[in-house]
Amino acid sequence: MWINDRELKFRMLVTMFLLAVVYLTFLTLLAALGVNFGFLILFALLFMFLQYYLSDRIVLLSTGARIVDEGEAPELYRIVRELSSRAGLPMPRVAIINTEMPNAFATGRNARSAVVAVTTGLMKTLSRDELEAVLGHELSHIKNHDMAVLTFTSVISTLAFFVMRWAMFMGMFGSRRDSGGSAVLLFVVSSLVWLISFLLIRALSRYREYAADTGGALLTSKPRSLISALMKISRKMDFVGKEEKARVEGLSAFFIIPAVSGKTVLSLFSTHPPVEKRIERLERLAEEMGW
């Protein structure tokens, strides 16, 4: 069972429209300044393609996740297989991360290369229904093609970042005064584009978390199990050491609850909505559906 959340879709469409406006304006300004950005675009596309193509391997390696077979985790496999069948998805690979941090994530460039990973801490913390609800959330990310969407929307943002670095270098070491002035202008423009797109992509990521919550709740018909799972994970994450959080903080966007140590700006520009807001939306959904 799936639902058409018009409000959420509208927000995502507006965010993607604003990103398109920012990106087109940026490319127009680059052309007006006489920048030959063909090479930079190719470089940014290559960088994002490699990141996208290798994303599952990078994330698994970074988190220490280990692919397991059905014999090692029969109950986990049964839940993932049943939910995948309901969602009309091929069976993803299943991985386990040996850490007391209760969390889960999904990665992979498409449904056929997808991986769903859970921590040993999550399996100890949650009941079966709660674990099923969390896995439903992760499979919703796969069904909604979130990895592809966020990668696609990040291409020009990545380009702006490279232009910003290049302009800073030219401004510092350029030999001609006029080229130095152009480099400063280019640095300012690309910095603004990168910052605005960074904030918009973060907003888009938060909206897609809401969508995955909704999808997971409907896939399992257990929104209240997802609510209790989010509450348990959030509470237990408060007791996870800062060193453990810092180790995986760069991958927080993948987790169902972000692992933020409080030492970086990631706590200010979160990829996830507040847990309280997510619970409010799930409560409304449970009431609307009579669950």
Q: What is the band of 121 on the pLDDT scale with cuts at 50, 70, 90?
A: very high
8: pLDDT strictly greater than 80: no
Q: Is 121 helix (H, G, I), strand (E, B) or coil?
A: helix
DSSP designation for 64: T
Partner residues linked to 93 by β-bridges = 115
Say whether 283 is catalytic.
no
| CA–CA dist 88, 108 (Å, integer) | 17
Residue-averaged pLDDT of the chain: 84
- Give me the pLDDT at residue 1, please: 46
User: Which residue among the candidates 130, 138, 209, 249 is catalytic per the annotation?
Assistant: 138
- pLDDT at position 154 is 82
- Residue 3 pLDDT > 60, yes or no? no
pLDDT band at 4 (very low <50, low <70, confident <90, very high): low
Q: Please tell me the predicted confidence (pLDDT) of residue 16.
A: 85
Q: How far apart are CA 83 and CA 74, in angstroms?
A: 14
- Judged against a pLDDT cut of 70, whether residue 142 lies above it is answered with yes
Cut 0.75: pTM above it: yes
Determine the pLDDT at residue 212. Answer: 93
Q: What is the pLDDT of residue 213?
A: 95
> Is the pLDDT assigned to residue 31 strictly greater than 80?
no
Q: Is the pLDDT confidence value at 21 over 50?
A: yes
Which has more pLDDT, 233 or 270? 233
The predicted pLDDT at position 262 comes to 53
Handedness of CA 19, 160, 63, 241 (dihedral sign): negative
Q: Output the pLDDT for position 91.
A: 96
Residue 174 CA to residue 169 CA, distance in Å, equals 8
User: In the structure, what pLDDT confidence band is assigned to residue 267 with cuts at 50, 70 and 90?
Assistant: very low
Q: Which two tokens stand for residue 65?
A: 């996740």
| Dist CA 68 CA 117 (whole Å) | 10
Can you give the residue ranges of every domain in the chain? 6-289
The predicted-structure confidence for 62-95, as pLDDT tens digits, reads as follows 888 999 999 999 999 999 999 999 999 999 999 9
Task: Tell me the mean pLDDT in the region 184-197.
Answer: 88
> What's the pLDDT score for residue 174?
52
